[in-house]
Structure 1
Amino acid sequence: MKNVIKDILLDEFQDEVENSLIRHKSILDTLTKFQESNSRVNRAIAKAVTSCGCIEVNAGKQHMPTDKDVLEDLNKCLSSHLQGKLCDNCRERIEFEIGNNIFYLTALCNLLDINIYDILIREADKITTLGKYNLR
């Protein structure tokens, strides 16, 4: 029942995107808008670091475990390099930009006659099956 609700929600969203995408109907327009929205997500995160300062990037070499239990220890050893927490303003901006990104991703799926829910299910199955051996 839970998956049916998720399927309906994503199908409705995909239909709404189809109905509201008017100006950028061309695959080329949609591709470039999707790329632009990716850049805006990146820019919003960078601004959270450089303008607001609510988060910091403290990057350095990732230290990989050397023993035989490498995969067991990877999550404990590897870092996101992020410090701090997004302020409400930055969180709102980043969520807005990610929303636009999802919109254009969905628009691409529509133009290519791909169901986004099916993609999510396949990816979830792959992650569940491969677990930490997915190595992404």
Structure 2
Amino acid sequence: MSTPTLQDFQQQVSELLLRHRSLLDVLSKYGQSNSSVNRSVVKAITECGCIELNASKQLYPENHELHETKHQLSSHLNGQLCENCKEVVTAELGRNLFYMSALCNLLDVNMEDVVQNESDKCSTLGFFNLS
């Protein structure tokens, strides 16, 4: 089975979304799904422990090239998601994509265009893309 394109997924969401057709409903569900993604990552840290968060101030070396600095900075993350936590995080990310797609549908925005525009911006701005 081939991987569906963003356009295919967006069309599928359009056909399935019955209950939350109001922009306000979709915005609130999208916000809720963002929170659920964050919560699933937090639970992987605090309840399961498969990943750890060890955050501290980032030290930016003064005499390094910009492309070298990227390798000096930390993600503050140790470990890897276990299978169970990965399944939960993946499900929450999928639900988040569902409501993002629903929002795009209501606003007549093509998700593939959004990805292409962001990719073009990243290519043009490189390290100077502050998003």
Scaled to the shorter chain, the TM-score interval is over 0.9
| Contact kept? 1:34, 1:104, Cα under 8 Å | yes
Cα separation, 1, equivalents of 2:90 and 2:67:
32
Deviation per CA, 1:23-44: give whole Å up to 9, x if none: 1100000000000000000000
Decide which of 101, 117, 121 is 2:116's aligned counterpart.
121
Structure 1 consecutive aligned stretches of length 4 or more whose deviation exceeds 3 Å = none
| Mapped partners of 1:135, 1:64: distance in 2 | 16
RMSD between aligned alpha carbons? 1.6
**Does 2:121 correspond to 1:111?**
no
Q: Secondary structure at the match of 1:73?
A: helix
The answer to whether the 8 A contact 1:24-1:30 is kept is yes
Larger mean CA deviation between 26-35 and 73-82 belongs to: 73-82
Q: Which has the larger helix fraction?
A: 1
Within 5 Å, give how 1:1-136 maps onto structure 2: 9-67=5-63, 69=65, 71-136=66-131
Q: TM-score, normalised by structure 2?
A: 0.93
Once the two structures are aligned, what percentage of the paired residues are identical?
50
CA contact (8 A) 1:49 1:55 kept: yes
Distance 1:72 1:94 in 2: 30
